[in-house]
Structure 1
Amino acid sequence: MAHPLQELVHKGWVWQGREAAEQIAPEQLQDTGWSDLNRRLGGGWQRGALHEIQVRQNFQGELALLLPTLRAQEKPCLWVNPPAQPYWPGLAYQQLQQAPIWLHERDTKQALWAFEQALQSEALGAVVAWFAELDSHAVRRLQQVAAKHEQLAFVITPWQTHSEARSYVNRLQLEWQQQQLQVAVVKRRGGWPLPAAPCGVTQLLPKRRRLSA
């Protein structure tokens, strides 16, 4: 009979923390563009890793959060199933070096296959994908491929009140409060979760978006 604690770990109800973060080479870390977020994530986004960003609804500022990272890529980035067709003039205004390549695939299995193939490509600077839901097997597989090919990858998913264990390196939750985007770190490499803290993404939003936010 399994020990009760082992059953909780298997169900993903117990987070297995570490006393100290493992050392990551500086070249494996990508500056997030936000000094406080860098500190909270132990130096920035880790390459060769899958990062989850949970949102209550689309267009909450998730792309503004990622903009500094996307700007820094010398190679084009792939967007898989963005919730709206990317508007290149708007992205050019944000000083992206190259227009993103985007793909719409309604079949989840096909979208996952495309995501996995993209992670193996040396022609891409980063991969961003939107999924309504991903099971633990799919996340584990994507994390393994991202690690093997040292790719920078992000998955944007709906907000989860009770998150089950997943193989993401970092898991963030975004929410607007008091006219600021709040970023909570519900899982991070080698550390305990961190409560929500403001992130100044409004400076990257067009004026009309800042007013609506």
Structure 2
Amino acid sequence: MAHPLQELVHKGWVWQGREAAEQLAPEQLVSSGWAELDRRLGGGWLRGAVHEVQVQHHFQGELALLLPVLLAQEKPCLWLNPPCQPYWPGLRYQQLKQAPLWLQESDPKQALWAFEQALQSEALGAVVAWFDSIDASAVRRLQQSAARHQQMAFVITPWQQTTEARAYVNRLQLSWASEQLQVAVLKRRAGWPLPAFPCNVARHLPERRRLSA
């Protein structure tokens, strides 16, 4: 008779951490633009995956963290439910090649539907979505769609006091300490969680933001 834990592993309900990530072809990974983050994520952001970034409040440095990978996209990116209207002159100053497509949808079900449709589009370089909350079944469905269509997506959510299981490939949590953005890795592909480390996002912030930070 199979052990109950073995049955859960067989069903894929238990995440199995490993010290080293499996080897992937270089084209399956996209550099985050941050050497330390790349090292912790096993080479960078995985294509065909949904990644979570948890923030204590909006404009904590999350867009500066994601900016290098957004700059690397040749196709426009979709921003779903951003907390404010994207400011194109500022993004142009950051050398973003194309203005992001911007969609606001207050109905959660419609927003998730739009997210899934975007993951199936070959016209988009990446998807960045803001959600106050999103349940495990929705994340699993989004991850399956991202993997099927080899699309890359980022979900920005509030900090969670208890980390419930989600199908995100990577889960990061942002905070500020010693005047630097700290990035904790709550979950990573085939690896154990890692404590927070400093990430110098200030170089991607406008001068007035650097001074206020």
Shared fold (TM-score greater than 0.5)?
yes
> Which residue identity is paired with 2:198?
P
Q: Take 1:211 and 1:4, find their aligned partners in 2: how far apart are those partners?
A: 55
Task: Give SS of 1:142's match.
Answer: helix
Does residue 1:133 correspond to 2:133, yes or no?
yes
State how far apart, in whole Å, the 1-side matches of 2:97 and 2:81 are: 21
Q: How far off is 1:30 after superposition?
A: 0.5
1:83 and 2:83 aligned? yes
- For 1:33, the equivalent position in structure 2 comes to 33
1:24 Cα deviation from its structure 2 partner = 1.5
Report Cα offsets for 1:95-145 as digits up to 9, x if no partner. 000000010000000000000000000000000000000100000000000
For residues 134-188 of structure 1, what are the alpha-carbon distances to aligned partners after superposition, in whole Å with 9 as ceiling and x for unaligned?
Answer: 1000000000000000001000000012110000000000001111000000000
Gaps of 5+ in 1: none
Match of 1:129, as an amino acid? A
1:29-64 CA distance string (max 9 Å, x none): 001000110000000000000000000000000000
TM-score by length of 2: 0.93
Cα deviation, residue 18, structure 1 = 2.7
Secondary structure of the residue aligned to 2:116 is helix
The question of 1:212 aligning with 2:212 is answered yes
**Which residue of the partner structure matches residue 121 of structure 1?**
121
Count of matched residue pairs: 208
Partner residue in 1 for 2:160: 160
Cα distance in structure 2, aligned partners of 1:36 and 1:162: 26
Post-superposition offset of 1:20: 3.4
CA contact (8 A) 2:17 2:190 kept: yes
Deviation at 1:4, TM superposition (A): 8.8
Structure 2 unaligned regions, length at least 5: none
Aligned amino acid, residue 46 of structure 1: L
Question: Match of 1:162, SS?
Answer: coil
CA deviations over 1:80-109 (Å, ceiling 9, x no partner): 000000000000000000000010000000
Structure 2 distance, partners of 1:204, 1:49, is 25
| Pairwise CA RMSD | 1.9
Moved over 3 A (4+): 3-6
Looking at structure 1, the residues matched to 189 and 42 of structure 2 have their Cα atoms a distance apart, in angstroms, of 8
